[in-house]
Structure 1
Amino acid sequence: MRKTYSNSHANRGALLERLVDMTNMQYRNKGVADIRKIPTPVQIQSNVRGKVTGYTQKPEWVDYSGVHDGRAIVFDAKETANRTSFPLNNISEHQYQLLKSWHQKGARSFLLVLFSKLDEVYLLPFALLETYWEDAQKGGRKSIPRAAFVGECDLVKCEKGYVLHYLKHIG
């Protein structure tokens, strides 16, 4: 990955989402999986002679959902410029609860996390996210150390022609 992108708040997450979108298109084109980006909902305020005005609403879903090998997949793509940990406040309560609900019903639920300054993408399974999330709710650490990603998560890379071959890492 090249580091020729803006880390401004507006562009946060854009690089990883572009990479995931390209990979998902590759998966669809090869008949491997059908995983789609969920658009952010927009509340239209007015439509006067074709000029539409509105604002983005708080999303109630995660970034991606789809199906692979007959099982549902839901996940979110997150980026952090932090080199040593992933702050849990990057995940909203509704995102966590949705991932948890789908995980409990048998879906593959996870996060793809990009450590942007290290050019590393990890697949964080929901079970590990849940451990850290629940601990944080009880007053524990408010982030997941990078060492946990290195030791307990799969590093997602470009391989077999896929931009980010993340499906290789889900069970």
Structure 2
Amino acid sequence: MRKTYSRSHANRGASLERMVDITNTQYRNKGVADIRKVPTPVQIQSNVRGRVTGYTQKPEWVDYSGVHDGRAIVFDAKETSSRTSFPLSNISEHQYDLLKSWYQKGAHAFLLVSFTKLVEVFLLPFGRLQEAWERAKKGGRKSIPYNDFKLYCDQVKSENGYVLHYLKHVG
């Protein structure tokens, strides 16, 4: 049986990630921070006369890691097409656990969440994510309402020459 996939589903997050990658290059070029995209691991299946076949493995890391102001930074970039909430199912258990572990050790840990239909990006600090995650684990709401982002999170915008100046909100 042949596997098929939706190209739009496969490229979810690509537009936000492109903006973050450009911004990270700007930060690096200006000496502000060194934050890099973590490559998705690939399992090689065969290499026959230079033709390599393989598949992407389930990543065990978040999208980005680096250093800013002498402090570690880890985060993931997530997109949602919902206008009303961000589903916690968009975060895997291992991503949450990694963010939590680094946060507990003093790193800046957060999500950048893009509401694509609203054309808005927010920085969700780990503490807010943790509250929602633990509430969901106890049988509560399985998403974070858009209004919570408006009330409790910083909206990230293009400013001071940066495509997506998210470090302004990291502190």
Q: TM-score range by the shorter chain?
A: over 0.9
The answer on 1:90 being equivalent to 2:90 is yes
SS of corresponding position for 1:163: coil
The residue identity in structure 1 corresponding to 2:11 is N
Per the TM alignment, residue 91 of structure 1 is displaced from its structure 2 partner at its CA by 0.1
Check 1:43–1:7 CA distance in 2 against 1; reply closer, same or farther (3 A cut). Answer: closer
Report the TM-score, using the length of structure 1 for normalisation: 0.96
2: CA distance, partners of 1:132 / 1:77: 17
Report the TM-score, using the length of structure 2 for normalisation: 0.96
Give RMSD over aligned pairs: 1.1
The answer on 1:40 being equivalent to 2:47 is no
Query: Which structure 2 segments of 5+ residues have no match?
Result: 1-5
Residues paired across the two proteins, number: 166
The residue identity in structure 1 corresponding to 2:158 is C
2: CA distance, partners of 1:56 / 1:157: 32
Deviations 1:42-82 (A, max 9, x none): 00011111000000000000000000000000000000000
2: CA distance, partners of 1:109 / 1:11: 24
SS of corresponding position for 1:8: helix
1:28 aligned partner: 28
2: CA distance, partners of 1:7 / 1:15: 14
Query: Which structure 1 segments of 5+ residues have no match?
Result: 1-5
SS of corresponding position for 2:21: helix
Per the TM alignment, residue 7 of structure 1 is displaced from its structure 2 partner at its CA by 8.4
1: CA distance, partners of 2:26 / 2:119: 21
The residue identity in structure 1 corresponding to 2:13 is G
The answer on 1:67 being equivalent to 2:67 is yes
In percent, how many aligned pairs have the same letter? Answer: 79
Per the TM alignment, residue 10 of structure 1 is displaced from its structure 2 partner at its CA by 1.4
Runs of 4+ in 1 over 3 A off after TM superposition: none
2: CA distance, partners of 1:50 / 1:144: 47
Check 1:7–1:135 CA distance in 2 against 1; reply closer, same or farther (3 A cut). Answer: farther
Per the TM alignment, residue 27 of structure 1 is displaced from its structure 2 partner at its CA by 0.2
The residue identity in structure 2 corresponding to 1:44 is I
